[in-house]
Amino acid sequence: MRNLLALFFKDLRLLLADRAEILVLVLMPLAFILPIGFALGGGDGYGMSRNNNRMALPVIDRDGGAVSQELVKALQGSLFVETLFTPNQLKSMGLDTNPICAQGSPACQEAAARRMVETSRRAAAVVIPAGLSQSVENGQPAEILFIYDPTADNVHLQQLQGVLNGAALKVSVSRQVNSGMGDLQNLLVFAPESLQQSVAEAEKAKESTPAAEQPPAISLQTIQPSKTNLPAIPDTFQQTVPGYTVMFVFFLIGTISSAMTDERRQGTFRRLLHMPVKKWQIVSGKLFSGVVIGLVQIAILFGVGTLAFRMQIGTQYAALFLLSLALVLCAVSLGLAASTTQIGGVLTPLLIVAALLGGCMFPIDLMPPFLRVISFFVPHSWALQGYQNLMVRGQGLAQTLPHIAILLGFAAIFFFLASRRIDYEEW
């Protein structure tokens, strides 16, 4: 243990001797984090939840009456209204074998609309229930169902609901006004002048009442599909700060490789081999010294993110530390393994590509599916997802253990390769 501590402090002094390179590990990520953070601001700066390319709305008319048809026509003035799903669409949703679809009933179209919302293919759907036209004709209140996906873009949902509310209000008001005015005109012909004057005054008073205070004949009942998971999306700072932190933690690889090259040039490593220390202790001393620098680097970058942007890091501090420790162990072990190879010239491009695939520069959710699959093979993505699970989704240590275990697995592989591939005789 004494020999291991001596090697640790020796390697730590060696790494800290190159102050310029140590400063780069902190200043370089800040050069990305601060401008991007201030430029994009808080909220969904990366646009991960935006999906406003089209305003499509499935509308299932189970009433078929004059009022429902008028409502559908009013919606078609502002939206792309889908009133019928084709057999191919039903097959793609797995409904072609459903008994209700085999019979061709309206219930099949409603099931398809609900499935479209449940699978996030549509932000919302509308179901006009049977009997709506009759209820409106009889002067009774009626409801239409607005089924929405809570994971959809909130602005999109508000736009759809606003159009639907406007159409429903337009239809209900026009129906009530036309019916009421017709009856009133017929009765007023036989009424005395005093009554006609009272009715006229009442009509003026009603016109002065805001439309929002008059209950519409058609109202919305908003519901969301059952078994819907509501994923929390990181804001700009929770994506930028941990993303570039993970990216530049792996730049420790260059620092470790440079320090080992200096030892080779100065001949200090050869002298270590004549001391009463084991070879694994030599490598472990370099590992632990790099871990200390990496943890300090993470603490500084997260501290700047918290102070400058008020970034929320959650309350699972023990899990954050263990995840950070696993990340740094992975990065330093990879640096030790890289120092035994001749990839110094392409090291930086490889790290940048790995950071891109790992979602460090922009969210993984914005990548095409095949790149998301590749991201599982780089440690960056596991570290970043672990941080966001703790900071954004309120998860704890139990849910983060798989990410920590995978990072430690990467670290073990790289450390084993470093221990076996170092040519002690050459050094």
The answer on 178 and 281 residing in a single domain is no
**What percent of the chain stands above pLDDT 90?**
18
Domain boundary among 189, 223, 257: 223
Is 192 a domain residue?
yes
Q: Could you read off the pLDDT of 143-186 as tens digits, one per residue?
A: 888 888 887 777 777 777 777 777 777 676 655 555 554 554 55
DSSP-based three-state secondary structure for 188: helix
Q: Could you read off the pLDDT of 339-392 as tens digits, one per residue?
A: 777 766 677 788 889 999 999 988 887 777 778 788 888 999 999 999 998 998
Distance of CA 366 to the CA centre of its chain: 9
Question: Average model confidence (pLDDT) for the chain?
Answer: 77
The answer on 149 and 131 residing in a single domain is yes
Lowest mean pLDDT among 64-78, 115-129, 271-285: 271-285
The answer on 125 and 173 residing in a single domain is yes
Cα separation, 384 vs 108, whole angstroms? 42
The larger pLDDT score, comparing residue 303 to residue 142, is at: 303
Using CB atoms within 10 A of its CB, is residue 16 exposed (0-12), middle (13-18) or buried (19+)? middle
Q: Residues 390-401: what's their mean pLDDT?
A: 89
The answer on 248 and 370 residing in a single domain is yes
The answer on 7 and 67 residing in a single domain is no
DSSP-based three-state secondary structure for 223: strand
The answer on 264 and 140 residing in a single domain is no
Lowest mean pLDDT among 43-57, 181-195, 272-286, 300-314: 181-195
- Residue range(s) defining the domain that contains residue 88: 56-223
Q: Residues 46-53: what's their mean pLDDT?
A: 54
Is 318 a domain residue?
yes
Contact predicate 388/242, CB 8 Å: yes
Q: Residues 274-290: what's their mean pLDDT?
A: 72
Cα separation, 121 vs 311, whole angstroms? 32
Lowest mean pLDDT among 132-146, 268-282, 412-426: 268-282
Could you tell me the CATH number of the domain that includes residue 101?
Answer: 3.40.1710
Is 426 a domain residue?
no
Contact predicate 360/378, CB 8 Å: no
The answer on 8 and 105 residing in a single domain is no
CA atoms within 13 A on the CB side of 143: 7
Cα separation, 38 vs 36, whole angstroms? 6
Q: Could you read off the pLDDT of 312-322 as tens digits, one per residue?
A: 888 899 999 99
